[in-house]
Chain A
């Protein structure tokens, strides 16, 4: 019988609007940037929650900031700005990004944010030099809830979607839970982590590695999966999970947790349904406000009252973490 896996959210801290110093910036693989933000000592967030980040709206500042960062060893190489791209840059609404990990040390709190520079806002954000200030609203949304018993937690992240999964592993391990993580990407260069050396392909075998520092730090065994077989399992992360169940799983109770593209989450939800496992997934949403006002990030969900086949719920307020059974998959 699947346990109740209703995502948590009733007792979260109220969001605040804060200017946070960007204390460090690191490349996370070839396509991603990790921002480390200094948060106030009373910062209180749980894995799965997100922050909504104000991006620059002044094109000249965008150019200046990119000028500072081009060729900089910290920032990596970003595409040269063309006039056309510059003219397109008018980020107005904030960009919602997962809180990847939270570090507490001697009264200081640091937030790790993983950025994939794809559009005007995220590219500007990834180009910010260390020492600048980032304006956030957060923490927002609900969070992953640990299982009620000591069952094995299988965590899966697809591409940049692994961001909150890193923090979830930290959290579950700190509660004494056992975890195994799966990280999937199109190829090894699209993995949002800085490998010390590139991991080897394992072809059709599921094998644990400690190559991903973010998981290794919580001693969470990690299975890599790539669509082109360039590292780890040759196939999707969810195919690797199915293979894991066939080969390595010892029959113990399991809870599934996932964050990534919708097709991956849908595949994970199918595994959960077939095996009758609790499954929480974190959804991505294009948001206007992040605080439940603009109603843009609506997703079809099972009607909790049972009165209708479905109802729209908001990813920002009634999510991003959702019981996989509650989603009306399209």
Chain B
């Protein structure tokens, strides 16, 4: 079994991670699925599927379309709902001895507040990732994520309800300038930012002449979006996160250890791995092992030494 070295540790707000590798929301379920392949304690953190106040069935299939170097998904925030999550999923997750970051989605301000308050009070929730960027459902919170004033209002209110868990705001790439949104979130009390969520996209069956996804559009993820994600992490780091000392949880197309190094250099403190888990369920611990080797090669004592370090 691969053992991470202690010097890989990073801090995301008040959340201490033993290494900077986390799973991305929606790509690691509620933990038990990936736990069939490795000890989740090897990871820095696990980010759950989005939780909403009420259970959601999600969109009718097809929900996924493979595209070149990526995939589109429109799951529709299918999840067990807050009550079942607290009752069944969270206690099971707690057994894995890995910090749990719960991703929260909502359609109204009240819904976000109720879910965040309940999660903050629940033992075993180390972080809350506010999903204000789901591109696939009308009530997925994206209207909160594309307007700086609306987002600031929501984050301010949520901040008052969250005292124990670290509050992370997950940003949408589907905006004109992500730095404007990032600044609004930080000013309103976000302790960390995660970026990017999926890019809205469309896949068409050329012969049937119709969209592949029932939802018509979906969120693009996978290697195809990595350059976009790197650019946005860099921009947010330069404009907001770097000067303000706010950590970034970077994600978008990470598959190999080189990708992790690139995200750190762009400005990330930690990273999330999403679609790559589908290609190789053991990606997480492989990146942890690979990162330790890579840092040695680069002569770095910790991942933090690389954060934001880009020459020229």
A288 to B218, CA, bound (A): 14
B70 / chain A contacts, CB cutoff of 8 Å = 92
Per-residue contact bits, chain B 39-59, to A (CB 8 Å; 1 contact, 0 not): 000000000010000000110
Kindly report which residue of chain B lies nearest to residue A310, judged by CB atoms: B57
Size bracket of the A interface: 20 to 34
A54 to B278, CA, bound (A): 10
Query: Which residues of chain A in 91-132 are interfacial with respect to chain B, using CB atoms and an 8 Å cutoff?
Result: 91-94
When A92-B71, A93-B278 are in contact, do A295 and B63 touch as well, CB less than 8 Å?
A: yes
* B26 and A294 contact, CB distance less than 8 A: yes
Per-residue contact bits, chain B 62-74, to A (CB 8 Å; 1 contact, 0 not): 1110111111010
Kindly report which residue of chain B lies nearest to residue A16, judged by CB atoms: B37
Contact of B278 among A15, A94, A298, A311 (CB under 8 A): A94
* B29 and A296 contact, CB distance less than 8 A: no
- Asked if B78 is at the interface (CB within 8 A of a chain A CB), the reply is yes
Query: Which residues of chain A in 287-330 are interfacial with respect to chain B, using CB atoms and an 8 Å cutoff?
Result: 287-300, 311-312, 317
- Asked if B202 is at the interface (CB within 8 A of a chain A CB), the reply is no
| Among B26, B37, B66: residue with most chain A CB under 10 A | B66
- Asked if B280 is at the interface (CB within 8 A of a chain A CB), the reply is yes
Interface of A is mostly: loop
A-B CB pair tally, cutoff 8 Å: 94
Kindly report which residue of chain A lies nearest to residue B75, judged by CB atoms: A295
* B281 and A291 contact, CB distance less than 8 A: yes
A239 to B275, CA, bound (A): 43
- Asked if A248 is at the interface (CB within 8 A of a chain B CB), the reply is no
* B279 and A92 contact, CB distance less than 8 A: yes
Q: How far is the CB of A238 from chain B (nearest CB, A)?
A: 24
* A291 and B33 contact, CB distance less than 8 A: yes
When A91-B66, A286-B62 are in contact, do A293 and B71 touch as well, CB less than 8 Å?
A: no
Contact of B57 among A14, A17, A289, A312 (CB under 8 A): A312
A14 / chain B contacts, CB cutoff of 8 Å = 36
When A88-B68, A288-B73 are in contact, do A293 and B29 touch as well, CB less than 8 Å?
A: yes
A288 / chain B contacts, CB cutoff of 8 Å = 64, 71, 73, 278
- Asked if B19 is at the interface (CB within 8 A of a chain A CB), the reply is no
A299 / chain B contacts, CB cutoff of 8 Å = 61
A86 to B29, CA, bound (A): 34
- Asked if A137 is at the interface (CB within 8 A of a chain B CB), the reply is yes
* B63 and A296 contact, CB distance less than 8 A: yes
| Among A14, A54, A295, A311: residue with most chain B CB under 10 A | A295
Contact of B28 among A54, A88, A293, A296 (CB under 8 A): A293
* A298 and B29 contact, CB distance less than 8 A: no
* B222 and A296 contact, CB distance less than 8 A: no
Kindly report which residue of chain B lies nearest to residue A140, judged by CB atoms: B36
* A312 and B78 contact, CB distance less than 8 A: yes
- Asked if B34 is at the interface (CB within 8 A of a chain A CB), the reply is yes
* B66 and A54 contact, CB distance less than 8 A: no
- Asked if A90 is at the interface (CB within 8 A of a chain B CB), the reply is yes
B157 / chain A contacts, CB cutoff of 8 Å = none
* B278 and A293 contact, CB distance less than 8 A: yes
A164 to B66, CA, bound (A): 25
A286 to B33, CA, bound (A): 18
Q: How far is the CB of B88 from chain A (nearest CB, A)?
A: 14
Q: How far is the CB of B77 from chain A (nearest CB, A)?
A: 10
A15 / chain B contacts, CB cutoff of 8 Å = 36-37
Query: Which residues of chain B in 249-290 are interfacial with respect to chain A, using CB atoms and an 8 Å cutoff?
Result: 275, 277-282
Kindly report which residue of chain B lies nearest to residue A315, judged by CB atoms: B61
A290 / chain B contacts, CB cutoff of 8 Å = 278
20 residue pairs of the A-B complex, CB under 8 angstroms, read A15-B36, A15-B37, A17-B280, A17-B281, A90-B67, A92-B66, A92-B275, A93-B64, A93-B66, A93-B279, A94-B278, A94-B279, A291-B33, A292-B33, A293-B27, A295-B75, A296-B62, A296-B73, A296-B75, A298-B60
